[in-house]
Amino acid sequence: MGGSWVAGESGGEGAYSGSMIRDIEKILISQERIAERVKEIAAAMSRDIAQDLAGLEEVEREGQVVLIPVLTGSIVFVADLIRWLPLKLSLELVGVSSYPGKSVESEGGSMRSGLPKNLTGKHVVVVDDILDSGQTLALVRGLVLEQRPASVRLCVLLRKPGKAVVEVEADYVGFDIPDEFVVGYGLDYNGFYRNYPEVATLRQEAR
C-alpha cells in the first residue's frame, strides 16, 4: 500500500485535518496490518460460505448469503471486506445504539432500526467493528436466530478479550486489543475520527 495523508503526504495535516491528527495518542493497528487481515478474514469467510452452499444448484444459491453490518462503526470495515468476497451476497444494514455521545463505556444496546425480514434459510454474517461487552452482537444474533436462518456467523474487526458480559463467540476476529478506548477505521468518539484510517487511542485532552 502507498502512503497516506496520515503520514503527511497529500498535505493532509496542513490543509484540512483540524485537530484530528493531533488528538491521536498512539496507533495500535496500522492501515497496512488492517488491510492484510481483512483479506485473510474474507478468505476464511469465503471458504466457509462456499462449503455451506456446496450442495446447492446455482439457482438455489441466489440470495442465500446476507451480510448484516451493524451501523455505524462497521462501515469502513465492511466496505473493505466485501470487496474481497467473490460471492453473490446482499447487504442489510442494522442500527444498534450503544456508547451514545461521549460515553467510552459500553452501556448495552438497543435496536434503532428493524432487522431485515426473510432471513429464514439464509446464511447470515453479522459484521461489527468491535466485540466489547458482547451485548450488541448478542442482541442482533438473537433477533436473527428468531427467523430461523440456515446459519449465523459473527465477524468483528476488533475484540477486547475478557470484557464479555454475555456469552457470544465471534467466528471471525481481526485483532484482539487491550482494554483501551480506540477510534479510527470506522470507530468514533462522539461521532468523530471514523475516517482516521488506523486503529488508535485518543489523547486524554481530546475526550
- Is 132 an annotated catalytic residue? yes
Q: Does 109 bind Mg ion (CB under 5 A)?
A: no
Please choose, out of 5-13, 71-79, 152-160, 178-186, the segment that lies near Mg ion by the rule CB under 5 A.
71-79
Q: What are the C-alpha distances in Å from 27 to residues 74, 82, 90, 155?
A: 19, 25, 33, 22
| CA-based nearest residue to 108, from 135, 132, 141 | 135
In angstroms, give the least distance from the CB of 145 to ligand 5GP: 17
Task: Please choose which of ligand 5GP, Mg ion, none residue 134 contacts, taking the beta carbon within 5 to 8 angstroms, the exact cut-off set by kind.
Answer: ligand 5GP
Task: Please choose which of ligand 5GP, Mg ion, none residue 144 contacts, taking the beta carbon within 5 to 8 angstroms, the exact cut-off set by kind.
Answer: none
d(CA 161, CA 103) in angstroms, rounded, equals 20
Binding residues for ligand 5GP, rule: CB under 6 A, are: 70, 73, 98-99, 106, 109, 128-136, 181-183, 187-189
Task: Please choose which of ligand 5GP, Mg ion, none residue 174 contacts, taking the beta carbon within 5 to 8 angstroms, the exact cut-off set by kind.
Answer: none
In angstroms, give the least distance from the CB of 165 to ligand 5GP: 8
In angstroms, give the least distance from the CB of 3 to ligand 5GP: 25
Closer CB to Mg ion, 50 or 104, in the complex: 104
Closer CB to ligand 5GP, 45 or 202, in the complex: 202
Please choose, out of 33-41, 67-75, 118-126, 167-175, the segment that lies near Mg ion by the rule CB under 5 A.
67-75
Using CB under 5 A, count the residues that bind Mg ion: 1
Could you say which of 73, 134, 174, 184 contacts Mg ion (CB under 5 A)?
Answer: 73
Report DSSP letters for 23-45, one per residue. HEEEEEE-HHHHHHHHHHHHHHH
Radius of gyration of the chain (CA): 18
d(CA 192, CA 194) in angstroms, rounded, equals 6
d(CA 73, CA 77) in angstroms, rounded, equals 8
Of the residues 23, 80, 128, 132, only one is catalytic, namely: 132
- Asked if 158 and 185 count as a contact pair (C-beta separation under 8 A), the reply is no
- Asked if 140 and 114 count as a contact pair (C-beta separation under 8 A), the reply is no
Identify the sign of the CA torsion 21, 25, 29, 32: positive
The catalytic residues are: 132
Which residues contact Mg ion (rule: CB under 5 A)? Answer: 73
